[in-house]
Structure 1
Amino acid sequence: MDKILLGMAALRFLSASIEFTAAMLMLYFGRVETAFKINAVLAMVGPIVLISVTTLGLVGLAGKVSRWECYLLSPGWDSFFWVYAICRGRN
């Protein structure tokens, strides 16, 4: 099996484990204030995992994707970073 694919899946399993642990901690503490703080930490983890998995995918596709297809991917990346920057600026 491809190492890139295993890396992508491993990062997603790690992300799911973090999300599940956070949900259990929210239930354990049983307070909205604490759950809100836990959720804030998850808000930082999500984009990091997304960028990491996507980067691994692009590395795995390097040489298999034409230059034109790379240009088509660029607006998606740009819009993601633009929205992320706007949301971070509001906090």
Structure 2
Amino acid sequence: MFFVTDRIVFAMALLRCFSASIELTAAFLMLKFGRVETALKINAVLAMVGPSIMVLVTTLGLAGLAGKVSFSKLGIIFSGVVLIFYGISRP
């Protein structure tokens, strides 16, 4: 199927698959319970899981790039991630 030689890429993809399975499970739970209140509670849990997975995947990616990219470019990438979180946290 897939042959991945880079362990970091494999770990990043595995984390994204894990995240997708959590999202799919949550969607099925929402359908099973069929109540708006319960669906909002499930969605609140997903609101914590999503950013956590993004941070983990980004951290793995930056760790993989650490030897290949200059510190200034790593700083720019990290700043971009910080700005994403800043942008979504402000109304």
Q: If the length of structure 1 is used for normalisation, what is the TM-score?
A: 0.85
Q: Which runs of 5+ in 2 are unaligned?
A: none
2:12 aligned with 1:8: yes
Tell me the C-alpha RMSD between the 2 structures: 1.7
* Counterpart mapping for 1:1-91 below 5 A: 1-83=5-87, 86=89
For 2:35 and 2:22, locate their aligned partners in 1 and report how far apart those are by CA, in whole Å.
19
Q: Which runs of 5+ in 1 are unaligned?
A: none
Question: Percent identical across equivalent pairs?
Answer: 57
1:5 positional shift: 0.7
Q: If the length of structure 2 is used for normalisation, what is the TM-score?
A: 0.85
Aligned residues: 87
Runs of 4+ in 1 over 6 A off after TM superposition: none
